[in-house]
């Protein structure tokens, strides 16, 4: 009888230990990827343009690029599409390229993945 109780206690302890591992939520593990990150319907006009407008165009608009943005304009589709690979490397801070936004903090994971999804989708002009 005592032996059964011991088995039972051991069993319960194992279950509690194992199941406690599944309390890890994605939010807790990856704080910047949260449920508010909506990566559905990633369009150029709806998702990519706002990211660039809010974080990059102060230096990389057609007007500011020559003075502040190393002549790299990211204001229209053709320019963004052509430079998508460099943009991705720059915002992911992975490359040999200068990390962007320059002198700013790295973009939220959600914005970076949104841009990368747009590239993966074939850079649609939509
Ligand atoms: C404060 C001004 C400023 C902001 C904001 C800024 N950039 Fe830049 N960017 C520069 C300058 C200046 C360079 C030239 C390289 C350097 O000086 O580091 C540059 C270079 C680049 C390059 C080329 C990198 C290379 O090493 O060849 C890319 C791509 C780029 N920026 C994309 C972006 C994107 C995307 C954003 C927004 C997420 C952004 N930049 C925000 C000023 C800025």
Sorted by sequence, the CB contacts under 8 Å of residue 100 that are 6+ apart come out as 56, 87, 90, 91
Model confidence pLDDT, tens digit, residues 93-104: 987 999 999 999
Pocket test for ligand 1, best of 90, 103, 106 (most atoms within 8 A of CB): 90
pTM comes to: 0.79
Model confidence pLDDT, tens digit, residues 12-62: 555 445 565 555 655 555 555 556 899 999 999 999 999 999 999 999 999
Contact 55 CB / ligand 1 (< 6 Å): yes
Q: Which of 113, 100, 116, 117 is nearest to 32 (CA)?
A: 113
- Give domain limits for the chain: 30-120
Whole-number Å distance, alpha carbon 98 to ligand 1 midpoint, is: 7
């Amino acid at each position: 009888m005592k032996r059964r109780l011991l088995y039972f206690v051991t069993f319960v302890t194992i279950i509690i230990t194992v199941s406690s591992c599944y309390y890890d939520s994605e939010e807790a593990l990856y704080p910047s990827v949260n449920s508010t990150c909506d990566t559905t319907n990633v369009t150029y006009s709806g998702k990519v343009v706002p990211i660039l407008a809010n974080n990059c165009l102060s230096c990389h608009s057609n007007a500011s690029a020559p003075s502040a943005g190393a002549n790299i304009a990211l204001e229209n589709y053709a320019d963004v599409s052509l430079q998508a690979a460099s943009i991705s490397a720059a915002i992911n801070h992975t490359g040999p390229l200068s990390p962007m936004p320059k002198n700013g903090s790295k973009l939220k994971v959600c914005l970076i993945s949104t841009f990368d999804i747009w590239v993966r989708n074939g850079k649609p002009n939509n």
